[in-house]
Amino acid sequence: MQLCFIITLLCLTNRSVAQTQSASEDRKIVNEVITCFERSNTEIFGQGEQMPEFQGGDSALKKYIIQHTKYPREAVKDSISGKVITRFAIQPDGSTSDVAIVRGIRQDLDQECIRVITKMPKWNPGMQLRHDSKGDYWVPVKVWYSIHFIFTLDEKSTPKAGFIIRPK
């Protein structure tokens, strides 16, 4: 009877060891599969969104706005200065649309800002990462953007935010 008990105990012990090894091997395989789908933190791909960019970058945008914005003569004559805040959309094709004045000064200054934005060349559109059963892919999306135009008659003032427009 003792011999039967010992043999049964040995059989059960060997079987549980075999199951433990098999379970740990299964976990290793599962961990390897999960590891295959992890993304590195250093990849831009993992961020999920890309902001629109003016052709040539921020310096080209600044150059474009300063070169193409004209300080209206009537506003100079009337000594009008201040900040115009604009809002517009960059469409999936890179064009600008839905231009609006969030905060204006006067109609002639506001209209000049609208004119400059509507005449802008196409941007590199904003992109968003989408997930599908076949994989991940980038899709161009509509993105809202804002630009501050600062009209000033003072040659020495240097506001920190916005594009400074002076009479030419």
The residues pairing with 140 across neighbouring beta strands, listed in sequence order, are: 127
Q: Is the pLDDT of residue 127 over 70?
A: yes
Reported as a single tens digit per residue, the pLDDT across 49-82 is 889 999 999 999 999 999 999 999 999 999 999 9
Q: Is residue 34 pLDDT above 50, yes or no?
A: no
Task: Encode 43-95 in three state secondary structure.
Answer: CHHHCCEECCECCCCHHHHHHHHHHHCCCCHHHHHCCCCEEEEEEEEECCCCC
Is domain 48-165 annotated with CATH 3.30.465.10? Answer: no
Integer Rg of the chain from CA: 32
Residue 99, H or E segment: strand 96-103
pLDDT at 31: 31
SS3 141: strand
Whether the predicted pLDDT of 111 surpasses 60? yes
pTM value is 0.68
pLDDT higher at 111 or 49 = 111
